[in-house]
Amino acid sequence: MFDSLLISRTRVVQASPTEVFNLLATPSMHALIDGSGTVKGAADGGPKRLSLGAKFGMSMRLGVPYKIANTVSEFEEGRVIAWHHLGGHVWRYELEPVGGGKATRVTETFDGRKSKFPPALIATGIARKHPKAIEKTLDRLEARFAIPSAR
């Protein structure tokens, strides 16, 4: 019924799965790759690196500034990382080595089907907006590793 709230995009990034995973597991780096324009930075007091069950806050802005608390719900070093917040929807990254491990196939997924109130996500246009935001995130992730000095 809410299949439009499962949004996923894939891109090959010219970096190893370890390099990509380390960036994704570092909350202070999320604003640098966020394609939605809503993530402004990691909130104070959170972990420097994520792990399974870790709780971390992010400073956000969607019209007005706010903070959101997230919990890491999946964590497989170098392969999968996912988190959710109190609304229940999930952001997930799957990493697969390609090119002998020198590059990574990155799949970013937003899963709003687990939201506490999916109709609200549909009413706010998530299914229309998130594909573009995910594409922009993957663009930024790709660009981050395309510049040798950024490593």
Task: State residue 62's pLDDT score.
Answer: 86
* Binned average pLDDT, 10 residues per bin, the chain of 151 residues: 84 97 97 93 92 96 92 98 93 96 95 81 78 95 78 50
pLDDT for 125 equals 76
Domains observed in the chain:
3-150 (3.30.530.20)
pTM score, two decimals? Answer: 0.91
Query: Any idea what the Cα angle at residue 102 is, between residues 101 and 105, rounded to 5°?
Result: 70
Tell me the DSSP string of 77-131: TTTEEEEEETT--EEEEEEEEEGGGTEEEEEEEEEGGGSS-HHHHHHTTHHHHHH
Query: What pLDDT score was predicted for residue 93?
Result: 98
